[in-house]
Amino acid sequence: MKFSNMAYNVLKQVALVWLPTIATLYAGLAALWSLGHVSEVVGSISAVDTFMGLVLHISSNSYSSASDGKLVVDKSDPVKDTYSLELTTPIDELSGKDSITLKVASSG
């Protein structure tokens, strides 16, 4: 399952901050104001939060960020490693970026 960056960030914020906060708030207010069904409400919120955590974990594991190329490390020489850069993004497009992402690959 893949989400857009915006959807992932919003769901992550909900799962990490808002749902635990709401569960804690209800548990605290229920104790002060004698509200009912505390374990049911807090348990339900926690179950939804746990499920969201699983979905976000699966999404995170299936995410592969786009890279601009590879840094290839050749280890065939026992004295020193040789590095080469293989770009997949055209060189003229790199100058307009704030940063680039490279995968690291070994050979030799």
pLDDT of the residue at 83? 96
Residue 21 gets the label, from left (phi > 0), alpha (psi -120 to 50) or beta, of alpha
pLDDT of the residue at 57? 93
What residues contact residue 35 under an 8 Å CB cut-off, 6+ apart?
Answer: 26, 29
The predicted-structure confidence for 18-76, as pLDDT tens digits, reads as follows: 999 999 999 999 999 999 999 999 999 999 999 999 999 999 888 777 789 999 999 99
pTM comes to: 0.64
